[in-house]
Amino acid sequence: MQAAVVHYALEPLAVELREVAVPEIGADDVLLRVGAVSVCGSDVHQAYNTHSWRVSVPVVLGHEFAGTVAEVGRVVKCFREGDRVVSETAAEVCGDCVLCRTGRYNLCPHRKGFGYGIDGAMASYVKVPARCLHRIPDSLPFELACLAEPHAVAFNAMCVNSMIRPGDLVVVVGPGPIGLLCARMAALAGANPLIVVGLSSDAPRFETAVRLGATHVVDAGRDDVEAVVRGLNPLGADLVCDASGASRPLDLALRLARPDGQVTKVGWSPDPVAIDINPLVQKNIRLQGSFSHNFPIWERVIHLLDRRLTCPEAIVGMTAPLEGWREAFTAMHEGRVIKSVLIP
Ligand SMILES: [Zn+2]
Ligand SMILES: [Zn+2]
């Protein structure tokens, strides 16, 4: 048996530390000894029952993790006991559809992820299909390696699903962990000016945004975002990334984008909302959703993390043992830390 952070019912605060069985692995799985697992905004949403996706309970939370291979299944060839790895999040995909067969398995209609469809890594051990694993260098500690997943989300949104050229005016709305990492990826891609938009409650996150490369931060509750953007370029922004956890800011994004510009939406929201969609047509805007990530993106973000190019330590505000999960979640929920990391 092992202790695990379990989401057990679809109601607020239905999460507790429970004893569960150590998983038994199949022929093509490995058993991973979890070295570190970071808390995602989505874990916090599940804990408060404010998530926008289907969750099967009971389920062990945690999909951002790194660790050491403790046991390998019968047909696993590429990994051995003792290997240091991070794991992708698509715990289950069909393997047969055109998306799976072309490497876009993150979009497989049968995809199930760790922590909401399949038991995740907020435990000592987690069962992982070997195809999900990436080796990590010894120079990359587990506490940083576990951040590969949100890095991959941000890289996919800004560097695969959007196009940024040096000198592009880029706006990121929503300075949560994903928004901040999107801003960092944009900065690495050459965005300048780079504007991060938040609310007054985001004040501590604005400092982090500047550390990560934002040239301007705007409190949308106090300042006129549109005036700031048009002061820099009267036509508007080349790219607006909506990383907020709400639907409404899409309206703002469509207004801020320049004619022939791009809007990329990476934040989820449970609220359907009516917005003026006409600027999309009138300005010939490319509106793009961005979901998850795939193999080449992971290889790239492991490199970025290992080179410390994304300032990953800037977003981690708390490290706690598994027993400290409640405070780690609460601190993120209350905005006291951007991201917490658990060490099982
Ligand atoms: Zn996540
Ligand atoms: Zn498939």
Q: How far is the CA of 169 from the centre of ligand 1 (A)?
A: 27
Stretch 10-20: mean pLDDT, rounded?
94
Banded model confidence at residue 331, pLDDT cuts 50, 70, 90: very high
Tokens describing residue 35: 């070295």
Helix, coil or strand: residue 135? strand
List pLDDT tens digits, range 258-303. 999 999 999 888 788 888 999 999 999 999 999 999 999 999 999 9
Banded model confidence at residue 122, pLDDT cuts 50, 70, 90: very high
pLDDT of the residue at 161: 98
- Ligand at minimal distance from the CA of 39 is 1
Q: What is the enclosing helix (H) or strand (E) of 238? A: strand 237-242
Q: How far is the CA of 234 from the centre of ligand 1 (A)?
A: 36
Rounded distance, CA 185 to CA 45, Å? 24
Q: How far is the CA of 243 from the centre of ligand 2 (A)?
A: 27
pLDDT of the residue at 183: 98
- Total residues belonging to the chain: 344
pLDDT of the residue at 272: 86
Rounded distance, CA 172 to CA 25, Å? 41
Q: How far is the CA of 118 from the centre of ligand 1 (A)?
A: 14
Q: Identity (one letter) of the amino acid at 217?
A: V
- Ligand at minimal distance from the CA of 98 is 2
Report residues near ion ligand 1: CB below 5 Å.
Answer: 40
Strand partners, 84: 68
Mean pLDDT of all residues belonging to the chain? 96
212, 184 Cβ separation under 8 angstroms = yes
Q: How far is the CA of 89 from the centre of ligand 2 (A)?
A: 14
pLDDT of the residue at 136: 98
Stretch 123-141: mean pLDDT, rounded?
98
Q: How far is the CA of 181 from the centre of ligand 1 (A)?
A: 12
Tokens describing residue 314: 């800037």
Own/partner long-range contacts of 283-286 (Cβ < 8 Å, ≥24 apart): 283/254, 283/257, 283/258, 283/259, 284/259, 284/260, 285/254, 285/257, 285/259, 285/260, 285/261, 286/261, 286/262
Residues with Cβ within 8 Å of 10's Cβ and at least 6 positions away in sequence, in order, are 49, 55, 57
pLDDT of the residue at 270: 78
List pLDDT tens digits, range 53-111. 788 899 999 999 999 999 999 999 999 999 999 999 999 999 999 999 999 999 999 99
> Percent of the chain, pLDDT > 70?
100
- Ligand at minimal distance from the CA of 89 is 1
DSSP designation for 157: I
Q: Angle 270-271-275 (CA atoms, 0-180°, nearest 5)?
A: 140
Q: How far is the CA of 40 from the centre of ligand 1 (A)?
A: 4
List pLDDT tens digits, range 135-169. 999 999 999 999 999 999 999 999 999 999 999 99
Rounded distance, CA 157 to CA 223, Å? 26
